[in-house]
Amino acid sequence: MDSSSSAPAGASARMSQPFAPPQQNIPRIQRALLDWFAVNQRRLPWRVHYTPYEVWVSEVMLQQTQMERGVDYFNRWMARFPDIAALAAADEEAVLRQWEGLGYYSRARHLLAAARKIMAEHGGAFPSDLEAIRALPGVGPYTAGAIASIAFGEKLPCVDANVERVIARVFDVDSPVKQDPAAGVVRRWALRLVPEGLAREHNQAMMELGALVCRKKPRCEVCPLAVFCSSRHLGIVEQRPVPGKKAVIKPVQAVTGVLRRAGRVFVQKRPPSGVWGNLWEFPGGRVEPDESPEQAVVREFMEETAFTVRVAATYGIIRHGYTTYRLTLHCFGLELADAAQSALPQLTAATESRWARPEELDGLAMPAAHRKLADRLFAVAPSAAHTP
């Protein structure tokens, strides 16, 4: 552990080249990276054609998402929406159902909106101009650069969390990478590293290196850039990148109820903005202080639908983790307290509702926790299960 000995950390265990400062060895870094990528890149469905559409969809899909999961979603997406025109012509309902389980549903809504914009404003051809790409809904600075460089070969860097990590280590960036002095430094080095005419390969190589080798727990033994790595030379790889502030996870108690009537269940469609925008759910909400889950679900139904309901069954608890909360969802079976009351709700938290046959739920996009509950109650026949 003691790195104060004369040899740089890691240099003693095996034969190694002397440290070569990265600032003076850009061409060697570029070559080492490309050579490494040529041999070690994973075979992925979006690394075959490099059409703008495929690059775009894969980049959006992989935002905040693990590669493993992205592959299945990507293949199913391309089978269902093979090109921009097919996507533009799709119903949002179908698009969200394809996306179900991936989270951050605004990505799917933006993808659809952007496809329609491309049809309307670019004659159906994906724009190659960086500004036009950036103007598409859901395309921010990262994704615009990724598409421009990977699909169109523009000499631009892609700076995602992987690349930030690689650069923070190789160039020993010693302040939080997400914030400004460091973010600018990272962008500058990222740009200087892009070789002429090879932006596609280089940018993917940087991200792939971050994903496979320069991970949070780095594998310096197999890193093609080890000899150029400043933080490794200093024995502080584990201290790079410097982290920002971390989120506080707060526990939340919530309820949801499956209201049944004549063999059907009540579901409602959430508003377009906010969490789970345009997805279908069983009504519910938070448990207030000094309130039991049973009381909460009755109150929430009254507030959201004007139905007076009664708890008829307890369906247990579903635990679901989020970025900023840890949800404990108490689930109930409900019936109308007065069987004679109208089956027409007065919606206050939804844009539409329906009394659905249980099989119908399979065609509706629902949040993961609600899908979990639906599956638990109405076990889907294996042949019908195309749930992610």
326 binds DNA (CB under 7 A): yes
Size of the site for DNA (CB under 7 A): 57
* 33, 139, 205, 334: residue in contact with DNA (rule CB under 7 A): 139
Stretch that binds DNA, among 21-29, 73-81, 255-263, 272-280 (CB under 7 A): 272-280
Nearest approach in angstroms of CB 181 to DNA is: 11
Phi then psi for 118, rounded to 5 degrees?
-65, -40
3-state secondary structure of 34: helix
* 8, 10, 45, 137: residue in contact with DNA (rule CB under 7 A): 137
Residue 79 corresponds to which tokens in the numbers above? 């089978």
> CB–CB of 107/73 below 8 Å?
no
* 39, 66, 79, 339: residue in contact with DNA (rule CB under 7 A): 66
* 27, 123, 263, 321: residue in contact with DNA (rule CB under 7 A): 321
69 binds DNA (CB under 7 A): yes
> CB–CB of 324/250 below 8 Å?
yes
369 binds DNA (CB under 7 A): yes
Nearest approach in angstroms of CB 252 to DNA is: 11
161 binds DNA (CB under 7 A): yes
Catalytic residue, candidates 59, 208, 300, 304:
59
Q: First-to-last CA distance in the chain?
A: 45
Q: Exposed, middle or buried: residue 180 (CB in 10 Å: 0-12, 13-18, 19+)?
A: exposed
280 binds DNA (CB under 7 A): no
Residue with tokens 């799709």: 90
Separation of alpha carbons 200 and 197, rounded Å:
8
* 3, 5, 64, 308: residue in contact with DNA (rule CB under 7 A): 64
Based on CB atoms, which residue is closest to DNA, 277 or 358? 277
How many whole angstroms from its chain centre is CA 339? 43
Task: Report angle CA 13, 19, 20 to the nearest 5 degrees.
Answer: 150
Q: Which of residues 184-243 bind DNA (CB under 7 A)?
A: 204, 207-208, 210-211, 215-216, 243
Based on CB atoms, which residue is closest to DNA, 41 or 295? 41
Q: How many C-beta neighbours within 10 Å does residue 154 have?
A: 18
Phi then psi for 327, rounded to 5 degrees?
-90, 130
Task: Report angle CA 217, 218, 224 to the nearest 5 degrees.
Answer: 165
Site string for DNA, 106-125 (x = CB under 7 A): x---x---------------
* Residue 352: active-site member: no
Based on CB atoms, which residue is closest to DNA, 44 or 312? 44
Separation of alpha carbons 26 and 181, rounded Å:
22
Task: Give bridge partners of residue 336 from the DSSP assignment.
Answer: 309
> What is the chain's alpha carbon radius of gyration, rounded to the nearest angstrom?
25
Residue numbers annotated as active site: 59
Residues in contact with DNA by the rule CB under 7 A: 44, 46, 58-59, 62-69, 101-106, 110, 137-144, 146, 160-162, 180, 204, 207-208, 210-211, 215-216, 243, 246, 249, 274-277, 319-324, 326, 367-369, 372
